Structure 1
């Protein structure tokens, strides 16, 4: 049985405690890194989400032994018998995740070849793999594109390269890291992403024996090594999930303690949360978020790469801004199609207008492309229940926040996608007192 539809009776503040585990944007990548080693690795603080399951299945198809460690949230990954998986077996996972593209470098190092099925992921904007493939070619990889996926080989091995990213892409930076650590010579990548999850991946690779330095100008230098061992690592907590629950507390007028939340990864978000009028308290065990009563304040915000305001924080924040007094302006500069979720919020009663112009000063990659990527939110507005279809992972969570904040009954369909990034999502809603009824499908 799988839950794909939730009936939500809104208007009740979320109050209580939930816990977050390792970041969705780190754990599957650390699992891929284990393929580079000649010894087993141990990864803890692993969430039970479908992206982890998908990557685990792919690794097992390639001969990696994946097992549960001393605790339920610990994985032991033994890559000592890595082999090329049969293409039909891999194709079963086509369209289920974008993480498999990161297997290219590790498999080329271990086997000299790789097959990657067609990729999936949320449709929030153009996330081409050309950056990945261009980087791999600079290392010396040969790429053969076919309808079923990508076939790669490295007839002369992989050699370090000087790579400049036109945009600090997280995925491509991860690709360079996972490929450069065992390439011959030195790799230098400029304009690299420096998100906390990137830094945590660097820590994983350094534990394995990699030599990696990070400069203040977004330049990463990697000195390739012949051998990597295993790692023992606890994944950093998920800052996206933390911010999502914080916005849910704010939008519903509630109070949520997020156990294991870490302040250092959330400083930009916390500043904005406080500017809007929310309150928070940082403790050794986590962070408590609450609506203190009174009016929330409108503001202008722009998304950006780290250390800017994270694009994945934008959608849940917009729901909270529908309850703020005045006019808020949100300029999305990372993904061009991330404002599509606002149509559903308007059906709930929100006053939101989207524009193709850049309503902000942050450099934007698609300001002249007629993409609706800026929003003007007028509030406060009374939200009312409606039927909603989840568009993607983060937009879907925002729909849930809106349904929880709205008066009356909402039907939210497509909630199965939450399994990709939110562990025990339904259980956490119940822990916070949400009035939610699941509708099961066979």
Structure 2
């Protein structure tokens, strides 16, 4: 198992290329199951979660090839001979449930294990199940597996989601592309990853309107064909690296970044005193001398402040001038990084879904432990600003969502290395 060593106190300067979006790619890959023709994804991120999804699709009979050093994924589902998404693969990653809708739509049945992933809340499957049942699926839970059937095919319906779930929106949109008739999905998620998925499906021949709004309309078609599609820029990686110069000081240009991807987050970052400038190549982020100012943050579904940037934002606010309150409204167990930041000298009080952060002059390096994907990178960011050395253990979480963290930060002057945990 690896750990990451960060020695703080180095201002950052340079450029960081932002990868394709993990969450977008994990939804695009199962779209291959909707067609017997090839699907090619470019600008793919090189992450362990992508390898997990590749293994899952391969176990079903899909062909998955990683080309150009992993930046291109060539997929083909002309011979799906297995209809069971096994627990041993699915347990590693929640997005594995996104094979359910496509398999139901094209093949008429699927057996999918209940998913796993980071321990940041229950994130139940009932929203997915209810929506697919409205399309005519019959779904039973047996021994930890969802047994889903649509022997007469799926039929279009009006589906009001009780929560704007990204995963449920993706599952329903993919399933509805091959359903008979028209599906109207209400209270749909609006994230850029949804827009990206619809863009790809449209290239495959799907008839979809309304992506990026709360109502998506899908007119079912008889079949989809192959396509080539570039994965959208990762807005969470973008926001994370925007925080690096904000925390450590200096100026960094994020290549491929667009403000539209992180609007609510960028607004809050500017409110702390950070300068954000759009450039021809991306976004430039600069922190002038002095401490940032405290701000209050409330996580919300897109286009609000992303829950996936809450931990990283907390790291910044630990050294802000004043007191900040962070309210987590998406997941009920997403302040597990707070005790680790407190080991570094942060002043944080957590009460349910609220965390009160009183800024301190400086954090101090300490041995800390990553508890989930975003928490792990928040500790690395905190280490950039801390006095002395921070040792972040259990960074296998990190590799699920960030590629080459040490290389990207080192290129801008950070003192950061990776090494094996001592036995």
User: What pairs up with 1:69-218 in 2 under 5 angstroms?
Assistant: 69=67, 72-84=70-82, 90-214=86-210, 218=214
2:271 is equivalent to residue 271 of structure 1? no
Residues in 1 aligned to 2:93 and 2:157: alpha-carbon distance in whole angstroms: 27
Q: What do the CA deviations read for 1:123-149 (whole angstroms, capped 9, x no partner)?
A: 112200111111122222222323352
- Give the length in aligned residue pairs: 422
2:398 is equivalent to residue 402 of structure 1? no
Instruction: Detail structure 1 runs of 4+ shifted over 4 Å in the superposition.
Output: 69-72
C-alpha deviation, 1:425, in angstroms: 2.0
Normalised by the size of structure 2, how large is the TM-score?
Answer: 0.95
Change (3 A) 1:148 1:304: closer
User: What pairs up with 1:323-342 in 2 under 5 angstroms?
Assistant: 323-342=319-338
C-alpha deviation, 1:14, in angstroms: 3.1
C-alpha deviation, 1:76, in angstroms: 1.5
C-alpha deviation, 1:281, in angstroms: 2.1
User: What pairs up with 1:29-48 in 2 under 5 angstroms?
Assistant: 29-48=27-46
C-alpha deviation, 1:4, in angstroms: 2.0
Residues in 2 aligned to 1:103 and 1:193: alpha-carbon distance in whole angstroms: 18
User: What pairs up with 1:412-423 in 2 under 5 angstroms?
Assistant: 412-423=392-403
Match of 1:67 in 2: 65
Q: What do the CA deviations read for 1:257-293 (whole angstroms, capped 9, x no partner)?
A: 2111122212222221111111122112121212111
CA contact (8 A) 1:248 1:316 kept: no
CA contact (8 A) 1:124 1:336 kept: yes
Change (3 A) 1:215 1:424: closer
Which secondary structure state, in structure 2, belongs to the residue aligned with residue 25 of structure 1? helix
Residues in 1 aligned to 2:37 and 2:166: alpha-carbon distance in whole angstroms: 27
Which secondary structure state, in structure 1, belongs to the residue aligned with residue 82 of structure 2? coil
Change (3 A) 1:375 1:29: same
Residues in 1 aligned to 2:382 and 2:334: alpha-carbon distance in whole angstroms: 16
Normalised by the size of structure 1, how large is the TM-score?
Answer: 0.91
Q: 1:303 aligns with which of 299, 302, 306?
A: 299
C-alpha deviation, 1:101, in angstroms: 1.0
Match of 2:47 in 1: 49
Moved more, 189-198 or 102-111: 102-111
CA contact (8 A) 1:42 1:69 kept: no
C-alpha deviation, 1:70, in angstroms: 6.2
Q: What do the CA deviations read for 1:342-388 (whole angstroms, capped 9, x no partner)?
A: 12112211112222xxxxxxxxxxxxxxxx11122222432111121
Residues in 2 aligned to 1:293 and 1:436: alpha-carbon distance in whole angstroms: 23
Residues in 2 aligned to 1:244 and 1:226: alpha-carbon distance in whole angstroms: 42
CA contact (8 A) 1:34 1:79 kept: yes
Residues in 1 aligned to 2:91 and 2:327: alpha-carbon distance in whole angstroms: 29
C-alpha deviation, 1:404, in angstroms: 2.0
Residues in 2 aligned to 1:331 and 1:118: alpha-carbon distance in whole angstroms: 29
C-alpha deviation, 1:86, in angstroms: 6.2
Which secondary structure state, in structure 1, belongs to the residue aligned with residue 2 of structure 2? strand
Which secondary structure state, in structure 1, belongs to the residue aligned with residue 397 of structure 2? helix
Change (3 A) 1:86 1:115: closer
Structure 1 stretches of 5 or more lacking a match?
A: 356-371
2:262 is equivalent to residue 282 of structure 1? no
C-alpha deviation, 1:294, in angstroms: 2.4
Q: What do the CA deviations read for 1:1-27 (whole angstroms, capped 9, x no partner)?
A: xx5212222222233322111101101
Match of 1:379 in 2: 359
Match of 1:359 in 2: none
Q: What do the CA deviations read for 1:83-102 (whole angstroms, capped 9, x no partner)?
A: 21566xx3331311112211
Match of 1:353 in 2: 349
Change (3 A) 1:85 1:158: closer
CA contact (8 A) 1:40 1:76 kept: yes
